[in-house]
Amino acid sequence: MEIVYTDGKNKDFIELCRLLDENLDEIAGGRKQREQYVQYNTLEDINDVVLIYEDGIAVGCASFKYYDEGTAEVKRVFVRKEYRGRGISKQLMNFIEERAKGKGFSKLILETGALLVEAMGLYNKMGYKVIENYGPYKCMKDSICMEKI
């Protein structure tokens, strides 16, 4: 496995995000069901991305972006279906946490959804705790927000 740090303009990251959106559409029952979230998943403000490659194929990604002083928001965590169950998402989250800490952030926050059972399990195992919904997710009943200090 090869680890690559990049930014939101990386073509492999963009492709993995496209696959992530397809996966989320499938889970949610179509794009229309999650239309309210799309505007919060743009890549333009994402400057910190980690990609994991296997045999030259980008198999997973994770990123974070500045939220406020001392806080970064985890975004776009995804592993291709055929590579799941191998601990790659945990590796990605570990890399993101270390990178954020190295950039001076002391807290990570994220938004996920009740339908994303595997993601919720990962975040819980890694020490993330459910918090009151923040920012644009405050009034979204299907959102679950979490943090890790």
Give, for 135, the enclosing helix (H) or strand (E).
Answer: none
Q: Residues 98-110: what's their mean pLDDT?
A: 97
The pTM of this model reads 0.90
Closest CA to 45 of 19, 8, 73: 8
Contact status, residue 51 vs residue 92, Cβ threshold 8 Å: no
112 Cβ neighbours under 8 A, 6+ residues apart: 119, 120, 123, 143, 144, 145, 146
Range of the domain at 105: 2-148
Q: Look at residue 134 in the predicted model and tell me its pLDDT.
A: 93
Q: Cα(95)–Cα(141) distance, rounded to whole angstroms?
A: 30
Structural domain count, the chain: 1
Q: Look at residue 25 in the predicted model and tell me its pLDDT.
A: 73
**What's the CATH code of the domain at 76?**
3.40.630.30
